Amino acid sequence: RFIKSAIEDADEVYRLFASELINEQSPGVIELISEGMLLIIEQYDELNQMLDDVALTPTQVLEHNRCLRDLLKLMIKERLSPIGRVAAASIIQVLGNQLRSLMVTKEIRGTEELCPT
């Protein structure tokens, strides 16, 4: 359930990058947007693997979440349009939701490792 929630959050982040931020014109921002979209694709791959293998923990997905937050910090320092700033704030909120889901998943899967059935 929490993995599916993390996937839904990844969908929302990708949508915001692809629809709300993609038109930003500030130098360097489109590169950050492209990098963010690639990180989301990596998350999809890792989350899909987690659905197939209950022994996998979300360590790498958490790292990509952290990288996405770092990218957003860089984008905020650039001169985003008002629409871009609103989109960045929305992405930050969704990444926070995803982080919570991943932390719960990590805790559950860590507990399963300690207490195999």
pTM attached to this predicted model: 0.86
| Res 112 pLDDT > 80 | no
92: CB partners within 8 A, 6+ apart = 69, 72
The number of distinct structural domains making up the chain is 1
* Average of per-residue pLDDT across 92-107: 95
Q: Which of 109, 18, 34 is nearest to 71 (CA)?
A: 34
Residue pLDDT, tens place only, 68-80: 999 999 998 878 8
* Rg (alpha carbons) of the chain, rounded to whole number: 15
- Residue 71: predicted pLDDT: 94
Which of 79-88, 95-104, 107-116 is predicted with the least confidence, judged by mean pLDDT?
A: 107-116
Give the separation between CA 35 and CA 40, rounded to whole angstroms.
9
**What CATH number is given to the structural domain containing 23?**
1.20.1260
Q: Using alpha carbons only, what angle is made at residue 40 by residues 36 and 35, rounded to the nearest 5 degrees? A: 25
Range of the domain at 82: 2-114
- Using alpha carbons, list the distances in angstroms from residue 19 to 30, 64, 101: 12, 21, 24
- Using alpha carbons, list the distances in angstroms from residue 9 to 46, 104, 113: 14, 15, 26
